[in-house]
A and B are shown apart, each in its own frame.
Chain A
Amino acid sequence: MVFLRRVSSVALPRGPAIFVRPALIRSLALAGVVLSVLCALCLGRYPLSPLRVLGVFGHFLHLSAGVDPLAQVVVMQARLPRILAALLVGSALSCGGATYQAVFRNPLVSPDLLGVLSGAAFGAALAIVSGGSAFVVQMGAFGGGLLAVGCGLLISRTLPGGGILALLLGGLIGNAIFTALLSLVKYLADPMDQLPAIVDWLLGSLAPSGWHELAWVSGPLIILTMALVLCAPVLDVLSLGDDEARSLGVSVRVMRPVLIVLATLACAMTISMAGIIGWIGLLVPHVARLLVGAEHRNMMPVTALLGAGGLVLADTCARSLTTGEVPLGIVTQLFGALAFVLVLRRLRGGMA
C-alpha cells in the first residue's frame, strides 16, 4: 500500500504545469497569426487603415452598406489571396521541415534534403525555357520535385544496408543529378529573357499568387499539413531510431516512407506556388521546440502556426520595405539565417 501511494503521488502532479503551457503558447501563436494577417492587410505600397480593411470585410459579409472601391480591390484582389498563400506555404513548409527532422533524426535537416528543391527548380526552368505558361511552370516545378525525390529513393534502394544512411546518400546523389541538369538548362537558356525568368523564379515570391493560383493548391495543401500535424505522435517514436521504434511496435518500413511522401508532396506544392523559400522549414521547428518542448504532439501545431504567421510577416516585409519588391526567398533566407543564430545560442545541450 505504501508503495502504491508513493506511486500515485508521483503520477498525479503532472497537471497544469505541463498541460497549460503548450495550450497557452498555442493560443498566443494563433493570436500572433491573426495579428500578422491584419498587419499584412493594412501595410503595403498603398497603406490602409485597419478601419478601412474592416469596412471591406463588413461589406463582404453584408454588414455595412458603404463601398470603398479602392480598399475593396486592394484587400480582396491583391492582398488577401497572397496572405492566404503565405499562410498555407508557411505552415506546410514548417511542418514538412519538422517531419523531415524527426524522420531523419537530425535537427539540422530541411525538407529539401532528398532533392525536392533542385528537382523543382529543374522542372520549372525546363518549363520556362520551353515557353510554357505560368500554370505549366507550376506543374513543371511540382513534377520535377517529385521526380527528383523519386530518383533519390530509387537510388537508395540499390545501396546496401538500407536505413537512413542509404536514404541520405540516395538523396545526395539525386540532388547532384538535378542540380547538374538545372545548370545545363540555365546554360542553354536564352540569356536575354529566359535566364532572367529562371533566376527570378528561383528567388521565390508570392507575387503571382491570385485566387486562380490558390484554387488548385489550397485544398491538397491544407489536407497534407493537417495530416502531418495529426501524425505528430508517430514522429516521437520514429525519431528514436529504427530498432527502438520497431521494439515499440511501429513499422518503420511503412511509416517512414509514408511520412516522407506526405512531407515531400507538401513541400513540392509550396515550391510550385511560391518558388524556393528557404530556411522556414529548418528554422520554425526549432523555435517551436524552444517554446513548447520537443514532444511532437505539442510542437507540431505550434510549428504550423508560427510558420504561417512568420511567412505572412516575411512576405509583408518583402513587398513593403522598398518601393519595388524584394523576392521573398531573399527575405526568408536573410532573416532566417540571422534568427537561426539566436535559436542555436538558446539550445544549450540540445544540439546533437
Chain B
Amino acid sequence: MTLLSCRNLDFRQPRQAGFVLEDIDLSLREGELVGLLGLNGAGKSTLLRLLMGFLTPSTGEVFLEGRSLREWPASAIARHLAYVPQSHVATFPYTVRRMVELGRVPHSGLMGRLSPQDGRTVAAALERMGLERFADRPVTELSGGERQRVVLARAIAQDARGLLLDEPMTGLDYGYQLRLMALLAELAREGRLVMLTSHRPEELYAYASRVLVLDHGRIEADGPPQDVVTAQRMSALYGVPLMQMDHAGNRFFHQERNEK
C-alpha cells in the first residue's frame, strides 16, 4: 500500500533563482527499503524534509495515505512517519532513556505519562541499538556515533509506519553500520517504509529493495538495485571511472586503474 507519495514536486529556496528539486514524482509503499543516492548538494536532504512536511513545496504536493500532508495534524504525521536527522546537537544533558522516551510523545501526548507498554517499547528500542548500558547516562557525555544511535533508537521507539533517515551511517562504527542496514531491512520486512539517503551504493545494492538517484534536483533513475546501481551509472554520477564485481549477491565497485 502506498504510504507516501508526491506529484510534480518543485522546491526552490526563497529569493534564489533555480530549483533545488524539480518535477519529483514518487510513490513509496510500505515494506520498501528505499535508498537515495546523489552528490553532495543534489537535494537528498531537502527531498526528505519535504516528504516529512518540514518544508513546503513551491509547487506540487506531498500525500500521506493519499491525503495531502497539509491536512494532517502534526501529531498524526508523527504517528505515521519518524525522522532521523543527519546530525543531532545535544544541548542539554537529558538521559539516553529520556531521549528515547520522547519517541513515544506522538502516542502518549506531550503531557501524558508513559504506559507500561510504552516503557517496553522504549526498552526494546534501547536494546536494538545496544544502549541498555547507557540508559541513564547524559547524552552530552556520549560520542557522536553513540548519540546517532540514541536518535535511531528514538525513531524506532516512535513505532511509525514510515522511517525517513538522513545519512544514518554518519559517525557509526563499522559494526553498527552493518547492524543498522540489517535492522533497517528487518523493519522494512515488518511492513514499514524505510527511506534513507546514503553515499554507499554497495550497501544499498545489498539491502535496498529500490534505489533512487537524484541528480541536479531531478530523479535520474528509480528501480531495483540491480538495474540502478551499475558501474556505468555510478561512474557517470560520481564522475569517477568504476568497475563492478558481483559476488554472492553483493556488488562491489573499484576504481578503474591503468595498470602498467
Evaluate whether A249 and B14 lie within 8 angstroms (CB atoms) in the complex, with A107-B92, A237-B110 already known.
no
Closest A residue by C-beta to B107: A249
Are the C-beta atoms of A11 and B105 separated by less than 8 Å? no
Interface residue B219 (Cβ < 8 Å from any Cβ of A): no
Are the C-beta atoms of A250 and B52 separated by less than 8 Å? no
Are the C-beta atoms of B54 and A242 separated by less than 8 Å? yes
Interface residue A102 (Cβ < 8 Å from any Cβ of B): yes
Q: Inside 8 A of A247's CB, which chain B residues have their CB?
A: 52, 54, 78, 81-83
Closest A residue by C-beta to B15: A160
- 0 or 1 for each of B104-119: is its CB under 8 Å from A? (1 = yes): 0110001100001001
Are the C-beta atoms of A246 and B92 separated by less than 8 Å? no
| Count of interface residues, chain A, beta-carbon cutoff 8 Å | 37
Q: Inside 8 A of A242's CB, which chain B residues have their CB?
A: 54
Interface residue B220 (Cβ < 8 Å from any Cβ of A): no
Interface residues of A in 332-350 (CB under 8 A from B): 348-350
Alpha-carbon gap, A240 to B49, bound state (A): 16
Alpha-carbon gap, A44 to B158, bound state (A): 56
Evaluate whether A239 and B91 lie within 8 angstroms (CB atoms) in the complex, with A233-B111, A249-B79 already known.
yes
Alpha-carbon gap, A168 to B105, bound state (A): 28
Interface residue B89 (Cβ < 8 Å from any Cβ of A): yes
Q: Inside 8 A of A236's CB, which chain B residues have their CB?
A: 94, 98, 102
Alpha-carbon gap, A249 to B103, bound state (A): 10
Q: Inside 8 A of B90's CB, which chain A residues have their CB?
A: 352
Closest B residue by C-beta to A285: B92
Interface residue B256 (Cβ < 8 Å from any Cβ of A): no
Are the C-beta atoms of A244 and B83 separated by less than 8 Å? yes
Alpha-carbon gap, A11 to B125, bound state (A): 11
- 0 or 1 for each of A18-29: is its CB under 8 Å from B? (1 = yes): 100000000000
Interface residue A8 (Cβ < 8 Å from any Cβ of B): yes
Q: Inside 8 A of A243's CB, which chain B residues have their CB?
A: 49, 52, 54, 83, 85
Interface residues of A in 229-281 (CB under 8 A from B): 230, 233-234, 236-237, 239-244, 246-251
Closest A residue by C-beta to B78: A249
Surface stretch bound by A, among B17-25, B57-65, B132-140, B190-198: B132-140
Are the C-beta atoms of A289 and B92 separated by less than 8 Å? yes
Alpha-carbon gap, A240 to B15, bound state (A): 28
Interface residues of A in 1-20 (CB under 8 A from B): 6-8, 10-11, 14, 18
Q: Inside 8 A of B209's CB, which chain A residues have their CB?
A: none
Q: How far is the CB of A286 from chain B (nearest CB, A)?
A: 11
Alpha-carbon gap, A248 to B99, bound state (A): 11
Closest B residue by C-beta to A298: B98
Alpha-carbon gap, A237 to B79, bound state (A): 15
Alpha-carbon gap, A348 to B140, bound state (A): 10
Q: Inside 8 A of B103's CB, which chain A residues have their CB?
A: 248
Which residues of B are interface residues toward A (Cβ below 8 A)? 14-15, 49, 52-54, 73-79, 81-83, 85, 88-95, 97-98, 102-103, 105-106, 110-111, 116, 119-120, 122-124, 126-127, 132, 135-136, 138, 140-141, 151, 158
User: Given A241-B85, A289-B93, A294-B94, list of 18 further CB < 8 A pairs?
Assistant: A6-B127, A10-B123, A10-B126, A10-B132, A102-B92, A236-B102, A237-B102, A242-B54, A243-B54, A246-B53, A247-B83, A248-B102, A248-B106, A293-B95, A294-B138, A349-B93, A349-B140, A350-B93
Nearest 9 Cβ contacts at the A-B interface: A249-B78, A249-B75, A247-B83, A11-B123, A294-B92, A10-B123, A249-B106, A11-B119, A349-B141
